[in-house]
Copies of this chain bind each other. A is one copy, B any other.
């Protein structure tokens, strides 16, 4: 690998953060969820992904208002977890570089965004 294509520590930190996000979303998408079961799912999502290397903090909020609105339009009392019901923040620390990433609804579309990359010190 030539020197000018070798990744920087900050780039590697962003790669690691992306892995956590793709893992969280695709591992749990489709999980049956209701307003009552949402808290236990949030906790499990946070604690499982926090196991992954360099992941210092995961914060998951199931949007109960959005979930209740979806359930009001159907006869079921649960639905399957998708991005429209989630606000997520994931913080990664890799070799002293701290990366903050978020997934939030934007114009009815769940968007994963790289918020900041900085030296932790």
Complex Cα distance A40/B9, Å? 33
| Interface presence of A7 (CB below 8 A) | yes
Complex contacts, A1 vs chain B, CB 8 Å: 115-116
Partner of A7, one of B27, B51, B76, B114: B114
Complex contacts, A52 vs chain B, CB 8 Å: 32, 78
Contact A80 B78 (CB under 8 A): no
**Please, could you name 27 A-B residue pairs with CB atoms under 8 Å apart, sorted by A?**
A1-B116, A5-B116, A6-B117, A7-B14, A7-B117, A8-B10, A10-B11, A11-B117, A15-B15, A15-B99, A18-B18, A22-B22, A23-B26, A25-B30, A26-B27, A27-B31, A30-B82, A33-B51, A34-B51, A37-B47, A37-B48, A37-B51, A41-B47, A41-B48, A44-B44, A51-B77, A74-B109
A: residues with CB less than 8 A from B are 1, 4-8, 10-12, 14-27, 29-34, 36-37, 40-41, 43-45, 47-52, 74-78, 80, 82, 99, 101, 109, 112, 114-118
Copies of this subunit: 4
**A88 → chain B, closest Cβ, in Å?**
12
